[in-house]
Amino acid sequence: MEERLLAIREAGFNTFLLKADDVFLDMLTDSGVNAMTVEQLAGMVSAQDAYAGSNTYEELARAVEEVLGFKYTLPVHQGRAAEHLIARTLVRQGSFVVTNFHFTTTRAHVELAGGVLVELPIPEALDASSEHPFKGNMDTVRLEEFLARNHERTAFVRVEALANLLGGQPVSMENIKLVKEICERYGVPLVIDGSMIDWNSYFVKERELGSWPLGKIIKEFASHADVFYMSARKAGSVRGGLLATNNRELYEKIAVLLPVFEGFLSYGGMSVKEIAALAMGLRQLTEEELIGSEIELIRYGVRELDKAGVPVVKPPGGLGIHVDALKFLENVPRNRYPAGALTAAFYIASGIRGMERGAISNDRLPDGREEYPALELMRLAFPRKTYLRSHVEYLVDRLVWLYENRDVVKGLEWVYEPPVLRFFLGRLRDVGNWSQTLADKYRREFGER
């Protein structure tokens, strides 16, 4: 306990700054920490290491064509690199980019390129307790209205398949089809962020297209994109990322930027070994049992937490368990960052490292004011093929304990606040030294461990 208390203080109450050695269960993210399959590991051994013209790249391009349906594939060093190249190619000063919901790095790249991000989620998405089956859907009525007025200034529409910051909530096939129809009517390209298309497709199968195999759902969903990209650190279960399209003109525009920012066309900043693992990872996206196992664990955890009265995002989505910090810490005001305080407190109480997904993850407006997001969440992510039910039982046990002792937790205030993506490197302190009180309470019940 003493060590965890010291560690979180040294980390400025920011779980990004904890050392992995000080963490018991690392649920910060599923990014770059998924276990690989034996087939992926085998592929890495036989990858063809060549700067240009490697047949491992060709295997990747074949996997992209067969699984996702795109003729042109550009590897990039990770998802945000794809966002950078897309923004650089399509966004002009003052352009709009319309999205179902932002991701942190997407917003940063759109804004750095001079664009303005417009979010059009359905209203249910911002209500943590709404049981809508597709809370990741875009509000197509508002999209139509927006494009009718602004299509000339709109660089692209972006749909995130499994909306990360909404709590891993899926987008339906019906919705992506409608969004595509509207985009076509106004001549605006549709970009799909497919970083978690596997989990999204699992929900589509479960709730919409039960008789379709997962592979068919993935390919059909992706077929709506003019440009498709993904962080391969998540669903691909490796490192890196990729960008794919059937539009030759767009491909050529982006391809010329690749050697400047990423690397040659056949490796794009990744190692050839990772490209081999990614090619196999893409093929394995269609394996239902593999893709569904974390969703089932998340569901189990959410059910148990819900039974104990802990406020969680419902219905359970992909990616992780999302705890509603606004309800959990009702007495902590928004300018004291409830989700950040909850995430730090939960680390003290469990050794589990989660991630703040609330106001701290949202940078300030250009005039310095805070823009508080509708959702203030603690995310406990499930890396693929890593955790078991007993881990979830431990998580539930400690989170229920923390909920019973929640009055101890006050908020956080800034010590060092970086100007952009402040959640990565920012440092805070606990208002009124509540971490000590929490640790003392913990010790009385559980001892020193």
Residue 315: cis peptide before it, omega within 30 degrees of 0: yes
| Tally of CB atoms within 10 A around 243 | 29
14 binds ligand F0G (CB under 6 A): no
Q: Would you give the binding string for ligand F0G spanning residues 282-321, x where CB under 6 A is met?
A: ----------------------------------------
CA distances from 225 to 45, 69, 80, 243, 391 (A): 33, 10, 18, 11, 38
Distance between CA atoms of residues 158 and 176, nearest Å: 10
Kindly state the smallest distance separating residue 195's Cβ from ligand F0G, in Å. Answer: 4
At closest approach, how far in Å is the CB of 164 from ligand F0G?
4
Q: What are phi and psi of 98, to 5 degrees?
A: -105, 135
- Encoded one letter per residue, x for contact with ligand F0G by CB under 6 A and - for no contact, window 161-180 reads ---x----------------
Q: Among residue numbers 95 through 114, which ones bind ligand F0G (CB under 6 A)? A: 103, 105
CA distance 139 to 121: 5
Query: φ and ψ at 379, to 5 degrees?
Result: -105, 130
Closest approach of ligand F0G to the CB of residue 92, in Å? 22
Stretch that binds ligand F0G, among 74-82, 167-175, 341-349, 428-436 (CB under 6 A): 74-82
CA distances in angstroms from 97 to 161, 170, 249, 408, listed in the order given: 16, 20, 20, 42
Shortest distance in whole angstroms from residue 260 CB to ligand F0G: 18
Q: Contact with ligand F0G (CB under 6 A): which of 34, 78, 172, 245?
A: 78
DSSP-derived letter for residue 406 is G
- List the one residue from 9, 22, 23, 31 that touches ligand F0G (CB under 6 A): 31
Interface stretch with ligand F0G, choices 76-84, 90-98, 170-178, 182-190 (CB under 6 A): 76-84
Identity of the residue, 383 or 411, whose beta carbon is nearer to ligand F0G in the bound complex: 383
Q: 196 or 332: whose CB is closer to ligand F0G? A: 196
Measured N-to-C along each axis, helices 272-283 and 38-45 cross at an angle, to the nearest 10 degrees, of 150
The distance of closest approach from Cβ of residue 267 to ligand F0G in the complex, given in angstroms and rounded to an integer, is 16
Lookup: tokens for 236: 């691909």
> Would you please indicate which residues are annotated as catalytic (active-site) residues?
51, 103-104, 193, 234, 357, 423
Q: How far is the CB of 36 from ligand F0G (least distance, A)?
A: 16
Q: In the complex with ligand F0G, which residue's Cβ is closer, 50 or 118?
A: 118
Closest CB to ligand F0G among residues 237, 435: 237
CA angle 429, 29, 105 (to 5 degrees): 80
Q: How far apart are CA 231 and CA 237, in angstroms?
A: 9
130 makes contact with ligand F0G (CB under 6 A): no
Residues 179-218 that bind ligand F0G (CB under 6 A): 193, 195
Task: Report the SS3 class of residue 388.
Answer: coil
Output the six-digit token pair for 363: 């940078």
| Residue of the chain from 36, 59, 80, 120 that contacts ligand F0G (CB under 6 A) | 80
Among the listed residues 37, 54, 172, 231, the single contact to ligand F0G using CB under 6 A: 231
Residue type, 379: R
Any contact of residue 233 with ligand F0G (CB under 6 A)? yes
Q: Output phi, psi for 79, to 5 deg.
A: -55, -45
Taking CB positions, which residue lies at the least distance from ligand F0G?
Answer: 79
CA distances from 150 to 96, 145, 280 (A): 8, 9, 41
Task: Output the 3-class SS for 37-56.
Answer: CHHHHHHHHCCCCCCCCCHH
Which of 160, 198 has the CB closer to ligand F0G?
Answer: 160
Nearer Cβ to ligand F0G (319/438): 319
Q: What is the DSSP string of 308-361?
A: TT--B-SS--SSEEEEEHHHHTTTS-GGG-HHHHHHHHHHHHHSEE-EEESGGG
Q: Which is nearer to ligand F0G, 154 or 195 (CB)?
A: 195
Q: Which residues bind ligand F0G (CB under 6 A)?
A: 29, 31, 78-80, 103, 105, 160, 164, 193, 195, 231, 233, 241
